[in-house]
Each structure stands twice: as structure tokens, then as C-alpha cells.
Amino acid sequence: MDNSLLGNNVLKDHSWPEKTLHSFNNTGTDGEYPFGSLIFDAVGNFYGTTVLAADEHVGAVFELKRTAGGGWAEKTVFTFSGDGTGVLPYAGLVFDAVGNLYGTTSGGGSQGGGTVFELSPAPSGNWTQSILYNFDDNGTDGYDPVAGLIFDSSGNLYGTTFEGGINGGGMVFQLSPASDGSWTETALYNFGGTGDGSIPSYGTLNFDTAGNLYGMTIAGGTYGEGTLFKLTPETGGDWTETMLHSFGRSEDGDGPFAGLIFDAAGNLYGTTQSGGKSTVGTVFEIAP
């Protein structure tokens, strides 16, 4: 076909070539089912998690490092075994300023409700795990943390739990470090109240430039199909929640599973797993 006949409707191939850096296997040496996102270190190596690992392990943290020939070599740097180390790490990881890795496991730990953990590198190349917090399905604490973590400028960690809290719909939590190396958990907001969102998404929370936290819930809200929320810090340490959007209206998306990103103008962007005109999901923008 003569493309000149198409005027401005010329079909262009803007596809990007794909290259497989590593294929996970189930031969007994590798992790299985990478669910979370990847993160770079300062020299360009990748780090991530797998929900399972071989030899009956229940999750792993891996590193992908560039090789001299232009390829990538994968190394399992830590495996979760269920003996207090936590199980089933669904989320990605986050680095602190000195190169330690932080993440969550959705189950396991000393109370069975999941963990927040730290992995510290040693000169030998090994990594040592420390459990910073054990979640407890006790009717008041959150449990099943499937989302990743985010730091504030003071070194506090923030995240969500998929379930639990005083209303049963999950919660937003803060972990604050002490000088003796311990960490204290504070529940910033409990989901599941009347007309509220419920079940925080798998996406990591996001800060704006003023220190407000943003995230989404998979269910609840005005139409029962999830919410986009904002948490604002108040004097005295309390946080106030505002529902910015309830999903589920006509041709709206439903059940947002992932996280949010900002553009330079302060608009928020994300996705929903279903809904929209074709009922199979949307990409959306929410402008302040």
C-alpha cells in the first residue's frame, strides 16, 4: 500500500525490542513467580522478589548483575524458609541511603501475620535478614502486608496491610526507628468503616511534595469498587483521610490493584483491573 494515500493516518511501528535478561525455573536452584517490581542499586544491578522458591522455600530475594559480555547473571541473595523469616514476599523492595534493602512478607513471622524485614549486605557478598516488625491477626493489628514500603525524609517506613485493623478492612501503618535499633509500629488509618474504602491495593503508597500520602483500595467506597485516598498529617501525629475518588460509576474503572504516580503538575495516574467501556480495565488520570 502507498502510505501517501493514508494522509496523516500512516501506520507506524513504535514497538520496542524485548530481551529476556533471566528466565526463572523450578529446577531447585532458582526462585519462582516474581510478582513485585524491580529496583536498581547505585551501580545498576537489579533486585527483586519471588513469591516462591525451589526446595520448598516460600520466597526469595534475587539480584541480577551485568556480566562482562553484556549478559546478566542472577543470584539468589536470600530465601525465606517459614521459620520466623516470613513467607510469600509479593512486593518489591526499597533501599535506604546506605544500601540496606527493605520489604514485606504477606505471611509468616513470629505471629503469623506477615513481616517487615531488612536485608543488610556483608563484604563477603552475603545478606543478613533482620525482622523489623511481626504483624499479628489479633483483631486490632493489620496483617497480610502485600504492598511495598516507602521512606519519608526522617527514615520512617510506610506501608499497608491487605487485611486486619480495628475495622477489618486493612490499614496504613508507619514504622519508626529507635536509637537502639528497634522499630515501633503506628496505625495511621484503619479501613473498613461505613462508606470507607476497604482492602488496600498491592501498590506502594506515594508521597506528594507536601508530605501527604496517596494510595488506593480495591473495594469499598461509594460504589463498592475501590477508592483513591489521601492521608494528611496533622499536628500531634494524627492523620486525616480524604477519599478523592470512588471507583465504580458508569464506564469508570473498578478494583484498582496497583499503585499511583505523579506528574510534574501534581496529576495522579494509575490503572484499574476491570471496568471501563470494555469492562476489562482502564488507565486513568485524576487532576487536583
- Using a pLDDT cut of 90, give the percent of the chain over it: 78
* Same domain for 270 and 154: no
Give 135-160 pLDDT, tens digit per residue.
998 889 999 999 999 999 999 999 99
Give 96-123 pLDDT, tens digit per residue.
999 999 999 999 999 999 999 999 999 8
The C-alpha angle 105, 219, 187, rounded to 5 degrees, equals 50
Give 165-211 pLDDT, tens digit per residue.
999 999 999 999 999 999 999 999 999 877 899 999 999 999 999 99
6 pLDDT higher than 50: no
Residue 69's pLDDT band (boundaries 50, 70, 90)?
A: confident
- What strand order describes the sheet that includes 171-177? 150-151, 157-161, 171-177, 183-190
Using DSSP's 3-state secondary structure scheme, residue 29 falls into: coil
DSSP state for residue 6 in the 8-state scheme: G
* Same domain for 244 and 165: no
* Same domain for 259 and 232: yes
Report how far residue 13's alpha carbon sits from residue 32's, in angstroms, rounded to the nearest whole number.
Answer: 33
* Same domain for 197 and 148: no
Into how many domains does the chain fold? 2
Report how far residue 198's alpha carbon sits from residue 276's, in angstroms, rounded to the nearest whole number.
Answer: 21
Phi, psi of 172 (to 5 degrees): -100, 130
223 pLDDT higher than 90: yes
Using DSSP's 3-state secondary structure scheme, residue 5 falls into: helix
CA dihedral (204, 153, 80, 160) positive or negative: negative
14 pLDDT higher than 80: no
What's at 124, amino acid-wise? Answer: S
Give me the domain span that covers residue 171. 26-179
pLDDT at 288: 87
What's at 206, amino acid-wise? Answer: N
Which residue spans within 94-238 are E strands per DSSP?
94-95, 101-105, 112-121, 127-136, 142-143, 150-151, 157-161, 163-164, 171-177, 183-190, 197-200, 206-207, 213-220, 227-233
> How many C-beta neighbours within 10 Å does residue 284 have?
19
pLDDT at 2: 47
* Same domain for 129 and 42: yes
**101 pairs with which residues across the strands?**
95, 119
Using DSSP's 3-state secondary structure scheme, residue 228 falls into: strand
* Same domain for 149 and 76: yes
* Same domain for 169 and 34: yes
* Same domain for 135 and 84: yes
Report how far residue 250's alpha carbon sits from residue 228's, in angstroms, rounded to the nearest whole number.
Answer: 17
